[in-house]
Amino acid sequence: MKVPLLDLKKQYHSIKEEILTVAEQIFESQYFILGPRVEALEKDIAGYCSSKHALGVSSGTDALLISLMATDIASQHTVITTPYTFFATAGSIFRTGARPIFVDIDPDTYNMSPEGLENVIDSMTDNELARLKAVIPVHLYGQCADMDPILKIAEEYHLVVIEDAAQAIGAEYRGRRAGSMGDLGCFSFFPSKNLGAFGDGGMVTTDSDELYDKLRILRVHGSHPKYYHQLAGGNFRLDAFQAAVVSVKLKHLDTWTKARQENASKYRKLFADSGIDDVIKLPVEKEDRHIYNQFVICVKDKRDDLRLFLNEAGVGTEIYYPIPMHLQECFLDLNYKKGDFPVAEHAALHTLALPVYPELSDDQLTYVVEKIEAFYKHKG
């Protein structure tokens, strides 16, 4: 049996007619960049994410970059984030010239540890505190970071809060939606995200009229009015076609999210019955509405052998993320070293993402767990 990590073709075939209809309309109109399709999607995403404004941008990475630019983060600043995330979070901070500062993660959720945040701030000198400008919690794998203590600390130290919600559209924390809790929320429509375009795309959410106006200007090179530049922005525009695809998919998102959550529940039951639950730690659901962009298990040992074994059995898996940010070559100058963030380093060595996409069948889920069971019972 084949169980790929993700199979987007199944999803495409379920919405093919709708997609082809909008594609034809856009091709006939020959109107490709920003415009009414993007505006319609922005309105819908703002509503879906309980934010006053949403601004379509070119990718999740650019959502982070333009958010940092809109809050005037530059080379004299530092920004705190987690070392256990997709590169774009730390990379965007670095690209503004600011220095990323990492804090370790919670071992259950893999999200930024609020205690870690508090400790790093407590250890700062007055000069260091003066440079510190923002914090970027990441809602990893589809579950929100523990935002209340993070927001409290941010308020106390006047930090901008940018939520990296690229993996968490529609996730909730104590009744609040991902992207609606900080000053800015960043989303990605990369095809493998829960709400994916047919290419790159992203969105920034905010309740602030002032930030929204600035983001709009930065999105078009800082041009306002046209050809007059008070700010130096970039080309952060979203395509009409990508917006139209995402609009079609948004109508199905809650159904797909439910299917992901049901798959996660089925995995839990299958693992509980498997008799290997002592060597495998399942994802811990701490916050409400985990949307399961990934279903990530943590195994005691032989993670890489397990991955090879599953691959040979036709089961796709992935390691998110094998090298924490503080150990990446391009960040060597930040002077971090192995051992600085033990929880993130442990996760990098022991976690494995299993297929959890909505269209998986019960037989496929059963097969995945059977193969993991076979590995640890016979080969392990």
Ligand X SMILES: *Cc1c(COP(=O)(O)O)cnc(C)c1O
Helix extents (H) in the chain: 8-29, 36-48, 60-70, 87-95, 114-122, 126-131, 147-156, 209-219, 240-250, 253-274, 303-312, 342-350, 362-374
CB of 70 closer than 8 Å to CB of 55:
no
Of 86, 267, 367, 376, which one interacts with ligand X (CB under 6 A)? 86
Q: How far is the CB of 322 from ligand X (least distance, A)?
A: 15
Please give the single-letter amino acid code of residue 102: F
Q: How far is the CB of 296 from ligand X (least distance, A)?
A: 13
Query: Could you say whether residue 188 binds ligand X (CB under 6 A)?
Result: yes
Of 41, 68, 88, 264, which one interacts with ligand X (CB under 6 A)? 88
Burial pattern 146-160, b for ≥16 Cβ within 10 A else e, equals bbeebbebbeeeebb
- Distance set, CA 94 to CA 24, 140, 236, 278, 344 (Å): 40, 20, 18, 40, 20
Of 104, 146, 164, 239, which one interacts with ligand X (CB under 6 A)? 164
Segment near ligand X (CB under 6 A); pick from 121-129, 163-171, 209-217, 356-364: 163-171
Segment near ligand X (CB under 6 A); pick from 11-19, 143-151, 159-167, 208-216: 159-167
Q: How far apart are CA 376 and CA 356, in angstroms?
A: 21
Structure tokens of 154? 């941010």
Q: How far is the CB of 7 from ligand X (least distance, A)?
A: 19
Between residues 89 and 205, which has the closer beta carbon with respect to ligand X? 89
Burial pattern 201-230, b for ≥16 Cβ within 10 A else e, equals bbbbbbbbeebbebbbbbbbbbebeeeeee
What is the number of the residue whose Cβ is closest to ligand X? 60
Between residues 67 and 188, which has the closer beta carbon with respect to ligand X? 188
SS3 of 233, please? coil
Between residues 270 and 352, which has the closer beta carbon with respect to ligand X? 352
Of 11, 78, 82, 89, which one interacts with ligand X (CB under 6 A)? 89
SS3 of 174, please? coil
Report how many residues bind ligand X under the rule CB under 6 A.
Answer: 15
Length of the chain: 380
SS3 of 52, please? coil
Q: Which of residues 226-285 bind ligand X (CB under 6 A)?
A: none
Q: How far apart are CA 298 and CA 97, in angstroms?
A: 35
Q: Which of residues 27-66 bind ligand X (CB under 6 A)?
A: 59-61
Q: How far is the CB of 35 from ligand X (least distance, A)?
A: 21
Query: Could you say whether residue 166 binds ligand X (CB under 6 A)?
Result: yes
- Distance set, CA 229 to CA 17, 95, 97 (Å): 43, 21, 21
Segment near ligand X (CB under 6 A); pick from 12-20, 41-49, 84-92, 127-135: 84-92
Q: Which of residues 197-226 bind ligand X (CB under 6 A)?
A: 200, 202
Segment near ligand X (CB under 6 A); pick from 83-91, 233-241, 353-361, 371-379: 83-91
Contact characters 121-150, ligand X, x per CB under 6 A: -----------------x------------
Give the binding site for ligand X (CB under 6 A).
Answer: 59-61, 85-86, 88-89, 138, 164, 166-167, 188, 190, 200, 202
